Amino acid sequence: MFSKAFSLATLSALVVGAVAAQSYFSVPVDSGARHNSASRKPVSYANYAPYDEGLFNPIEDLSILSETEFTSLTHPVFPNYNVRIKKTSFCDETVKSYTGYIDIEARHLFFYFFESRNDPDKDDVIFWTNGGPGCSSSLGLFMELGPCRINDGNGTKFHPESWNSNANIFFIDQPIGVGFSYAEYGETVGTTEDAAKDVAAFVSIFFEHFSKFKGRPFHMAGESYGGRYVPVFAAEVYDQNSRLVEAGIEPINLASVMIGNGITDFYTMTASYFDMACTPASVAPILDIASCVRMKQAVGRCQKWMKSNCVDQFDSMNCNAAVGFCENEIIVPFFQSGMNPYDISKECEGDIGDTLCYPVTKHISAFLDRPKIRVQLGVDPSVKGNFSSCNSDVGAAFVANMDEFKPTYHYIAALLERNVDVLIYVGNQDWICNWVGNEAWTLELEWSGQEEFGSQDLREWTVDGKRAGLTRSAGGLTFATVEGAGHMVPYDKPKESLALVNRWLNGTAL
């Protein structure tokens, strides 16, 4: 399914009894066109010197992997990291698929990898993470963009609009403690920056061992708290490239980041909650007039307090106080309405702490609780208990570190300046990480393309001749809405979602 709500909203959910805490050449882009990732190469590192072949023996061919036992991958540049991987024939019999663990000493991150249905030897590679913080990417796999879906209690069903239609794709349970990931001695990760180091190391080890993917355009994608994760992860991959070159390793061809309904700037998002609930920014106003008047009066004070203590300077005590005020006055009223925070066109189905407003999540958990399925996937026997879509302890650790309130948009600006393209797509019916807040920060983002981007009017983009949403694009940055979709765009609008991604990968305008 989707990544869970970011911590600001998660804390609000706690108040109302919900869940616990939870993109190389620079080419001007206009009218929605972007760089052609299929032809780009990491030009900064063209003359790296290959490392000593005697130090490393890559596996190279995925087809030699076993279906019953893990093959362990190592690399001398990353002495503390191993990757365990096996063939796992499930979900989509038309492609090769694999599962395994990224082992960081006593910490272990679970992942799925599916080859492209089109041309796995030539197609791009996508990395996907769900958010939370603390939610499993099995939700993205089995409910949204994966090659199969779980719609009921009958197991998996082939998904024709999967993102692996024209790309090879990873789904990773991160950080430690999420999904089938685990730690042997209770180790935890409580910041996005720490989680980024593990992800970047895994990416390099994988590309080194399976050389047919080397040099392919690599896209890092995610949703919800992925708006915080993905920019930091991509920056770590980009910065790690210089270290790889020094070690004689071919760098990663980081082409773009793609963020769906993300929380990249908490400040603009907080103010947007009034717009989404009390104005026809998406649907007709859903809160009563009295509540909206009180929210409107609180917005200015909320913004002033958060700006002075969370943005202009970071004062943890006063920032926490500001966040608490904003939650009580602007966020709590929405949760009290009973509407679905991930799709304001409908009511929440079930208790949000149990179903995340989508009962299908219970079917996914039940499927992943089957002993036979766990053995087939290669889930480590030490992973006990029922499968949980979101780990509240992981979320609480990020909340305790106030991870959400870091200036993540600066990473986006830095990536754009280094010719890494950025796609921000948003379902227009989402409340929790909505289009109003996301459009606001993309327009306010300080970078060399700001003026050009801001001068572009929103224009329609279509799929099969029908309006799919609105978009604006310049200099490598693209913003797009998807009409009729909530927080999980691929779930609500699979055809439009796949069209959007395929055009992005092809370097064509939406």
Distance CA(19)–CA(7), nearest Å, equals: 11
Tokens of 203: 């990416």
285 burial via Cβ count (<10 Å: 0-12, 13-18, 19+): middle
Find all residues with CB under 8 Å of 27, minimum gap 6, and list them: 35
Distance CA(434)–CA(272), nearest Å, equals: 8
Strand-pair partners of 423: 258, 478
User: By the 8 A CB rule, do 164 and 158 touch?
Assistant: no
Distance CA(52)–CA(503), nearest Å, equals: 40
* Ramachandran angles phi, psi of 419, nearest 5°: 65, 30
Report how far apart, in Å, the C-alpha atoms of 474 and of each of 228, 235, 270, 456, 502 are.
Answer: 22, 21, 26, 8, 19
Find all residues with CB under 8 Å of 466, minimum gap 6, and list them: none
- CA 23 to chain centroid: 12
Cis peptide before 175 (omega within 30 of 0): yes
Which positions are catalytic? Answer: 224, 430, 487
What is the pLDDT at residue 31? 37
Domain boundaries, the chain: 7-267+405-506
| pLDDT tens, the chain, 510 aa long | 333 333 443 433 333 333 333 332 233 333 344 444 444 444 344 444 444 444 456 666 777 888 888 988 888 888 888 888 999 988 888 999 999 998 888 889 999 999 999 999 999 999 999 999 999 999 999 999 999 999 988 889 999 999 999 999 999 999 989 999 999 988 888 999 999 998 998 888 888 888 888 899 999 999 999 999 999 999 999 999 998 898 888 899 999 999 999 999 999 999 999 999 999 999 999 999 999 999 999 999 999 999 999 999 999 999 999 999 999 999 999 999 999 999 999 999 988 888 999 999 999 999 999 999 999 999 999 998 899 899 989 999 999 999 999 999 999 999 999 999 999 999 999 999 999 999 999 999 999 999 999 999 999 999 999 999 999 999 999 999 999 999 999 999 999 999 999 999 999 988
What is the pLDDT at residue 499? 98
What is the pLDDT at residue 56? 53
Parallel/antiparallel/unpaired status of strands 107-114 and 182-183 = antiparallel
- Element spanning 124, H or E: strand 124-129
Tokens of 403: 């991870």
What is the pLDDT at residue 24? 25
Find all residues with CB under 8 Å of 251, minimum gap 6, and list them: 42, 44, 45, 48, 241, 242, 244, 245
Pick from 361, 358, 295: nearest CA to 328: 295
| Burial per residue of 34-57, b for 16 or more beta-carbon CB atoms within 10 angstroms, e otherwise | bbebeebebeebeebeebeeeeee
Cis peptide before 120 (omega within 30 of 0): no
374 burial via Cβ count (<10 Å: 0-12, 13-18, 19+): middle
Fold for 7-267+405-506, please state it: Rossmann fold (3.40.50)
Distance CA(220)–CA(125), nearest Å, equals: 9
Distance CA(233)–CA(229), nearest Å, equals: 6
What is the pLDDT at residue 90? 85
What is the pLDDT at residue 58? 67
User: By the 8 A CB rule, do 168 and 123 touch?
Assistant: yes
What is the pLDDT at residue 109? 92
What is the pLDDT at residue 456? 95
Q: Where are the alpha helices (DSSP H) in 30-148?
A: 138-139
Distance CA(54)–CA(58), nearest Å, equals: 11
Distance CA(392)–CA(20), nearest Å, equals: 5
CA-based angle 20:193:168, to the nearest 5?
Answer: 90
What is the pLDDT at residue 307? 95
Pick from 211, 210, 215, 195: nearest CA to 100: 210
Q: What is the DSSP string of 448-502?
A: TTHHHHHHSPPEEEEETTEEEEEEEEETTEEEEEETT--S-HHHH-HHHHHHHHH
